[in-house]
């Protein structure tokens, strides 16, 4: 950590500050005197130093971290890829492209079982489906909730596909016993109390990037879960909010290679929410395969124009089948290049 002081500080102020830093933290401090400012360099374990505390000192001009502020998620301290393996053998991470597919919302037993069977035939290895739905409007359909989870279990029983579904409140956790991968939605990425609780369970967590969150903040939220003891975190890029309005969000495709460089955790892409437009899903899925994402999470609905939510960004099982073939081809090619 490098601390630039404001010009013309008294030596005793600097000395006192250095004294405080070395007594409070396990660091050594180097002082370097420039023409305009004095700069302090901190060596040691600086992750636990709160840079806001440093910036609050009235003689400090600015602070720059050299070490990343996350440890458990950091590839530097854990060079090998984390691979999430389910009891049924399904894997995310470590090469290959896992397909997670299913409807935005669970709507009925017929619907979820039909879609589950279809996406399984096309090569999906996980079933997604919303039981608790975060909706901007209180007047929109909020999901089938507990009954939706029950229907997901039924679809799992029939197809063997593990379930990925979103949790919106820690109070719902008892209902998630049969859920295989617990999803944290974009709007809850910094719901820190939820993250802390999910750190205590022993199921993989699929953590979606928030609409306006940086890559570093996504990693810090993963760190919350991991610091609690649950190291099975899957990161998900699902588009960020920008000024562009044609697409619902802007897929930050760079986030995939950036994340894979910074962390050992697997990274999946959600082209459905990223675009909000069903005809954009296939090209974005191909792009994700081309940058070696570890998986795709895609909304598939038997009848998108009658979906109870997000129909405009859902594709049919037949379209998913075509897409699955194409992304597998690109993924296989890219892994041989």
* Site for a copy of itself, residues 290 to 309, rule: CB under 8 A: 290-292, 304-309
191 near a copy of itself, judged by CB under 8 A? yes
C-beta of 168: minimal distance to a copy of itself in Å?
A: 5
Encoding tokens for residue 258? 């950036």
Give whichever of 155 and 255 is closer to a copy of itself, judged by the CB atom: 255
Binding-site size, a copy of itself (CB under 8 A) = 109
DSSP class of 313: G
Q: Is 101 left (phi over 0), alpha (psi -120 to 50) or beta?
A: beta
157/241 with CB nearer a copy of itself: 241
CB of 158 to a copy of itself, least distance (A): 27
- Spatial contact of 215 and 259, defined as CB atoms under 8 Å apart: yes
* Cα–Cα distance, 22 to 14 (Å, whole number): 12
Of the pair 28, 157, the CB lying nearest a copy of itself is at 28
Q: Does 194 bind a copy of itself (CB under 8 A)?
A: yes
Least distance from a copy of itself to the Cβ atom of residue 85, Å: 25
Answer yes or no whether residue 2 interacts with a copy of itself by CB under 8 A.
Answer: yes
Residues 233/226, Cβ–Cβ less than 8 Å: yes
SS (H, E, C) 54-100: HHCCCCEEEEECCCCCCCCCEHHHCCCCCCEECCCCCEECCCCCEEE
As a whole number of angstroms, the distance between CA 300 and CA 167 comes to 20
Integer angstrom CA distances of residue 70 from 1, 21, 216:
14, 20, 9
> By rule CB under 8 A, what string of x and - marks binding of each residue 153-172 to a copy of itself?
---------------xxxx-
Residue 228, C-beta contacts closer than 8 angstroms, at least 6 positions apart: 195, 196, 197, 198, 199, 200
Segment contacting a copy of itself by CB under 8 A, of 89-97, 120-128, 158-166, 282-290: 282-290
Residue 120 contacts residue 138 (beta carbons within 8 Å): no
Residues 62, 30: Cα–Cα separation, whole Å: 16
Cα 103 to its chain centre, rounded Å, is 20
Sign (positive or negative) of CA dihedral 294, 296, 297, 300: negative
User: Which one, 95 or 192, has the nearer CB to a copy of itself?
Assistant: 192
Shortest Cβ distance from residue 30 to a copy of itself (Å)? Answer: 5
Written as six digits, the tokens of 334 are 């890219």
Q: How far is the CB of 82 from a copy of itself (least distance, A)?
A: 18
Q: Please state the closest distance from residue 175 (CB atom) to a copy of itself, in A.
A: 13
Q: Which stretch binds a copy of itself (CB under 8 A): 117-125, 147-155, 229-237, 251-259?
A: 251-259
Q: Which of 253, 300, 315, 324 binds a copy of itself (CB under 8 A)?
A: 253
When the beta carbons of 43 and 85 are compared against a copy of itself, the nearer one is: 43
Among 84, 115, 251, 297, binds a copy of itself (CB under 8 A): 251
32 contacts 41 by C-beta, under 8 angstroms: yes
Does residue 15 bind a copy of itself (CB under 8 A)? no
Site map (CB under 8 A) of a copy of itself, residues 48-87, x = contact: x-x-xx-xxxx--xx-x-xx-xx-----------------
Binding mask 109-138 for a copy of itself (x = CB under 8 A): -----------------------x-xxxxx
């Amino acid at each position: 950590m490098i601390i630039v002081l404001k010009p013309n500080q008294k030596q005793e102020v600097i000395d006192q500050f250095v004294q405080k830093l070395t007594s409070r933290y396990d660091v050594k401090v180097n002082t370097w005197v420039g023409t305009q400012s004095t700069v302090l360099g901190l060596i040691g374990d600086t992750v636990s130093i709160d840079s806001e505390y440093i910036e609050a000192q009235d003689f400090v001009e600015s602070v720059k971290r050299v070490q990343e502020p996350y440890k458990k998620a950091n590839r530097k301290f854990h060079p090998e890829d984390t691979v999430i393996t389910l009891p049924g053998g399904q894997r995310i991470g470590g090469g290959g492209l896992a397909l997670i597919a299913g409807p935005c919302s669970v709507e009925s037993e017929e619907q979820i079982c039909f879609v589950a069977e279809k996406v399984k035939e096309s090569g999906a290895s996980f079933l997604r489906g919303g039981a608790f739905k975060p909706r901007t409007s209180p007047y929109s359909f909020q999901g089938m909730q507990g009954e939706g989870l029950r229907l997901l279990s039924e679809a799992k029983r029939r197809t063997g596909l593990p379930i990925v579904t979103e949790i919106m409140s820690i109070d719902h956790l008892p209902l998630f016993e049969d859920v295989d991968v617990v999803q944290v939605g974009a709007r809850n990425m910094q719901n820190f109390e939820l993250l802390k609780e999910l750190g205590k369970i022993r199921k993989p967590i699929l953590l979606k990037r928030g609409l306006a969150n940086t890559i570093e903040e996504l990693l810090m939220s993963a760190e919350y879960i991991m610091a609690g003891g649950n190291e099975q975190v899957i990161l998900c890029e699902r588009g960020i909010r920008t000024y562009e309005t044609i697409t619902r969000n802007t897929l930050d495709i760079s986030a995939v290679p950036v994340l894979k460089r910074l962390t050992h955790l697997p990274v999946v892409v959600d082209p459905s929410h990223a675009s909000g437009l069903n005809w954009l899903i296939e090209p974005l899925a191909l792009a994700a395969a081309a940058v070696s994402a570890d998986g795709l999470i895609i909304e598939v609905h038997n009848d998108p124009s009658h979906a109870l939510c997000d129909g405009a960004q859902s594709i049919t099982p037949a379209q998913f089948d075509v897409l699955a073939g194409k992304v597998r081809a690109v993924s296989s090619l890219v892994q041989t290049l």
